[in-house]
Amino acid sequence: MPAIDPAALQPRDAYRLLTSVVVPRPIGWTSTLGADGSLNLAPFSFFNAVGGNPPTVLLSIGQRQGEPKDTLRNIQATGEFVINLVDETLVEAMNLTSGEYAYAVDEFALAGLTPAPSVVVRPPRVAEAKVALECQLTQVIPVQDAHYTLVLGRVARFHIQDGLLRANGLVDAALLKPVGRLAGDEYATLGQVFELKRPA
């Protein structure tokens, strides 16, 4: 088995290789507001949960031609964002919102999505999303030697569609039908769900 040195790869190929092995990645479909009140929505698959209590999530946002993407610009300006979870019914709309649009473009309108008011933050959530997390910015961390910025946020409110939350306090993944990102233009739906008891 060859041991590949990423330093020997073109940057794009290192990215392609990494994103083809760290799979599937959840998609944090992020709504933000600009300081001028403009609405923005874009997907990020360098996204995950990083702490349980207080519940904390992370996005890693790249640059566009050396400039911050609209999402980072807005989060830094306002300290707030909403992570909407992408399910099978929303994948086409999610993809539409990933285009490199001008700052003023409202990707909710562009993709035919409905902004629903949040409870504690100003950016709206995607009404069509079954799960949305209202987040307050806690940290912005540049990634060393990479053109990425980590954004950490604390979940201030969970929005869970009726019927998804089971009596045991867990969301039913089979009902949520999340979509994960693979490499390039490939995505995955949930396979078989099984249980594995942890050792004592």
Ligand X SMILES: Cc1cc2nc3c(=O)[nH]c(=O)nc-3n(C[C@H](O)[C@H](O)[C@H](O)COP(=O)(O)O)c2cc1C
Q: Which residue ranges make up the site for ligand X (CB under 6 A)? A: 27, 40, 42-46, 60-62, 69-71, 95, 98, 100, 181
Identify which of residues 152 and 165 has a Cβ nearer to ligand X in the complex: 152
Identify which of residues 108 and 118 has a Cβ nearer to ligand X in the complex: 108
Instruction: List the beta bridge partners of residue 43.
Output: 29
DSSP state of 77: H
Identify which of residues 46 and 127 has a Cβ nearer to ligand X in the complex: 46
Identify which of residues 96 and 165 has a Cβ nearer to ligand X in the complex: 96
Q: Name the minimum Å distance from CB 136 to ligand X.
A: 18
Q: Name the minimum Å distance from CB 165 to ligand X.
A: 26
Calculated CA dihedral for residues 107, 136, 177, 160, nearest 10 degrees: -110
Residue 199 CA to residue 146 CA, distance in Å, equals 39
Identify which of residues 62 and 165 has a Cβ nearer to ligand X in the complex: 62
Strands 63-64, 67-68: pairing kind: antiparallel
> 145 in the Ramachandran plot: left (φ > 0), alpha (ψ -120 to 50) or beta?
left
Beta-strand (E) ranges in 101-164? 115-116, 125-126, 131-142, 149-160
Q: Name the minimum Å distance from CB 16 to ligand X.
A: 13
Q: Name the minimum Å distance from CB 167 to ligand X.
A: 33
Q: Name the minimum Å distance from CB 77 to ligand X.
A: 13
